[in-house]
Structure 1
């Protein structure tokens, strides 16, 4: 299976409830203005907001799939507001942690982690204390209904040309099952959730990140 590029991996993380580390502005997708929503659309968007706001904690397995078919699996943890962890299964060296202030992306093979302000990522929208998909700094571009599935696509309100995130909900039961991020070339990376548990107790240490480079002996000396 071809490996995920680091940029593609970061783009997928940005969508997460729980997705990554790139601001939407870095994705440079074709410009999309906010949609004029019908009353049915508004009701469906409100359902999505209510669902996301009702989540306090979540644990789920995830499968991440890139445009070229490359895949990665792992476990996602969410504690609202502000905290998230994406723990990729070995041998994938990536770890992603949102600690309430930053989205921290650490490639354990490359070394130094990247710190991205949480508010500048789509993930920051989804882990807010009060999730709003309309009327704030994100706008809905379209609502698509398929049998048993609801798709809600979003852009940044001030930079609708910057990129697009699509949240995919199952209808029965109503739950977030997937998110998709479209990049500058139109390639789509999807992250699917399964075996989800909500309202469970999670160890707060899951959302702490300690830079392992600070613990190396040569850095402690002197």
Structure 2
């Protein structure tokens, strides 16, 4: 069950309470002034994105390819609805990420701050302080930011993909603490959309 949480949308950097080896805090890479300028623009763009809707494609080494719809309302709310026949649903709200697997009628909760969603959904998204940039790469109209939690890089790494014109989040890759990789790509992105509050009601155990 926990492994399925980790691969669901690639949102879990930690294993939800599993004991991970402690590692020394990282300092991150040094950026040029131009690169730091793009990072500042990315932070401002994320902060300005209040609502977001898109189709997603998720690829994992273990489970292959799946698709669905993602909804976001900042701060703190996100929903990944998988297309049938997948039994999975993931909702972030109230400081939690709740994962539902209809095939077994159960839900599991992990703290939002233990997931990459915690980085993206915070009121002031930033890539400094408690988040360190491990790598920066820009090719053509795409920027890749490789990040980790400064005080516990052993939890895993996340690489965010951004288009530069216009500046927008295109997806991410998560490498978890066990070395498993999950890739998520977004398409048909819409921002500034109206999203019903019911979309972010946290799932509960099925009777």
Note the C-alpha offset of 1:81. 0.6
Q: Partners in 2 of 1:146 and 1:184 — Cα distance? A: 28
User: 1:1-222, aligned counterparts within 5 Å?
Assistant: 7=3, 10-11=6-7, 13-14=9-10, 19-20=11-12, 22=14, 33-67=27-61, 70-135=64-129, 137-184=130-177, 186-213=179-206, 216=207
Q: Give the TM-score normalised by structure 2.
A: 0.88
Q: 1:154 to 1:8 in 2, by over 3 A?
A: farther
Q: Which has the higher strand share?
A: 2
Segments of 5+ residues of structure 1 without an aligned counterpart are 217-222
Q: 1:21 to 1:90 in 2, by over 3 A?
A: farther
Q: 1:25 to 1:13 in 2, by over 3 A?
A: farther
Q: Partners in 2 of 1:133 and 1:185 — Cα distance? A: 23
**Counterpart in the other structure of 1:220:** none
Q: Partners in 1 of 2:198 and 2:63 — Cα distance? A: 33
Q: 1:190 to 1:172 in 2, by over 3 A?
A: same
Q: How many residue pairs align between the two structures?
A: 204
SS at match of 1:78: strand
Q: 1:24 to 1:106 in 2, by over 3 A?
A: closer
CA shift digits 1:134-159 (9 cap, x unpaired)? 12x11111111112110011110101
Q: Partners in 2 of 1:47 and 1:108 — Cα distance? A: 40
CA RMSD of aligned residues (A): 2.5
Note the C-alpha offset of 1:79. 0.4
Note the C-alpha offset of 1:111. 2.2
Of the two, which has the highest radius of gyration?
A: 1
CA shift digits 1:150-186 (9 cap, x unpaired)? 0011110101233110100012221111100113454
Contact 1:102 1:116 in 2 (8 A): yes
Contact 2:28 2:134 in 1 (8 A): yes
87-96 or 98-107: bigger deviation: 98-107
Segments of 5+ residues of structure 2 without an aligned counterpart are none
Q: 1:21 to 1:161 in 2, by over 3 A?
A: closer
